[in-house]
């Protein structure tokens, strides 16, 4: 019996909120490709430009390069709107400024579904998570409520209470999944667009084909399809 449920499909607009370029490409983008193929609108919002992510390249060079790589990666899976908040990579702080920025974007884009990065202390397998991911994920959950309350951030647009779910990618507490058998190749191609980052990264995570396919196969075994991408789905 599969232990992951199908993700809901009765929605039209999603906003994907993550910390860095490449966060969505480590699994979620294959699901996003299927959603855009089905005619749904997905917008990307990144808290930073990933400018501290390449040790051999100074931030003033790395930031624009990584932003360009993210825009190219998004296009492969049918996303043509990519926004950056320019919080400082590596030291993104949970707090009112971040919550305000996220609530403003939620009110402006009016999503029904929000996709975000894992906010838990670790990833599946016990690998420790980093502060940027945790802070952006937790701020996203809070910003959904902020966006719905007209008396919070009153100068940040009209309230939006239409977010029905937050889907957490890379969560160790996954509850739902999407069949990506037909779209994994595009998800892999989207990760490959982060060429400069991957070249500097090294290790298994720098090999998109093997890394993503292995995870998709393991998730597919839990979901009952050849390949799948998992999410922790939080009703709002």
Residue 23 phi/psi, 5° resolution? -60, -45
CA distances to 35, 60, 99, 170, 200 from 115, rounded to whole Å, are 12, 28, 16, 11, 27
- Which domains does the chain carry? 5-235 (3.40.50.10320)
> Distance (Å, rounded) from C-alpha 24 to C-alpha 142?
20
pLDDT at residue number 202: 86
CA-nearest of 80, 229, 107, 231 to 163 is 107
Question: In the chain, what's the furthest Cα-to-Cα distance?
Answer: 50
> Burial of 22 by CB count in 10 Å (0-12 exposed, 13-18 middle, 19+ buried)?
buried
> Distance (Å, rounded) from C-alpha 206 to C-alpha 200?
8
> Distance (Å, rounded) from C-alpha 170 to C-alpha 27?
8
Report the percent of the chain where pLDDT is more than 90: 96
**Cβ proximity of 44 and 76 under 8 Å:** no
pLDDT at residue number 178: 98
Half-sphere exposure of 65 (CA within 13 A, CB side): 15
The ranges of the chain with pLDDT < 70 are 1
Question: Reduced to 3 states, what is the DSSP secondary structure of residue 204?
Answer: helix
pLDDT at residue number 101: 98
Q: Which residues contact 10 (CB under 8 A, 6 or more apart)?
A: none
pLDDT at residue number 125: 87
Question: Residue 41 pairs with which residues in a beta bridge?
Answer: 13
Buried-exposed string 188-216: b where 16+ CB fall within 10 A, e elsewhere: bbbbbbbebbbeebeeeeebbeebbbebb
pLDDT at residue number 1: 54
Half-sphere exposure of 127 (CA within 13 A, CB side): 9
Please measure the distance between the N-terminal and C-terminal CA atoms of the chain and give it in whole angstroms.
27
pLDDT at residue number 91: 98
């Amino acid at each position: 019996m599969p232990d992951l449920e199908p993700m809901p499909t009765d929605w039209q607009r999603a906003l994907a909120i993550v910390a860095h370029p490449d966060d969505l490409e480590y699994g979620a983008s294959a699901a996003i490709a299927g959603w855009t193929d089905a005619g749904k609108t997905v917008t990307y919002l990144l808290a930073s430009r990933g400018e501290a992510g390449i040790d051999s390249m100074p931030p003033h060079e790395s930031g624009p390069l990584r932003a360009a790589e993210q825009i190219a990666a998004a296009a492969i899976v049918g996303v043509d709107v990519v926004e950056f908040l320019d919080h400082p990579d590596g030291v993104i702080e949970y707090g009112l400024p971040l919550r305000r920025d996220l609530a403003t974007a939620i009110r402006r884009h009016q999503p029904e579904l929000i996709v975000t990065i894992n906010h838990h202390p670790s990833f599946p397998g016990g690998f420790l998570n980093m502060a940027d991911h945790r802070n952006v994920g937790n701020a996203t959950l809070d910003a959904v409520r902020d966006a719905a309350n007209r008396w919070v951030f009153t100068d940040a647009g009209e309230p939006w209470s239409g977010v029905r779910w937050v889907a957490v990618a890379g969560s160790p507490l996954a509850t739902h999944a999407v069949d990506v058998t037909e779209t994994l190749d595009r998800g892999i191609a989207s990760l490959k667009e982060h060429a400069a980052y991957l070249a500097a990264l090294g290790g298994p995570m720098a090999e998109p084909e093997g890394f993503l396919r292995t995870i998709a196969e393991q998730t597919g075994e839990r979901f009952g399809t050849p390949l799948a991408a998992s999410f922790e789905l939080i009703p709002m």
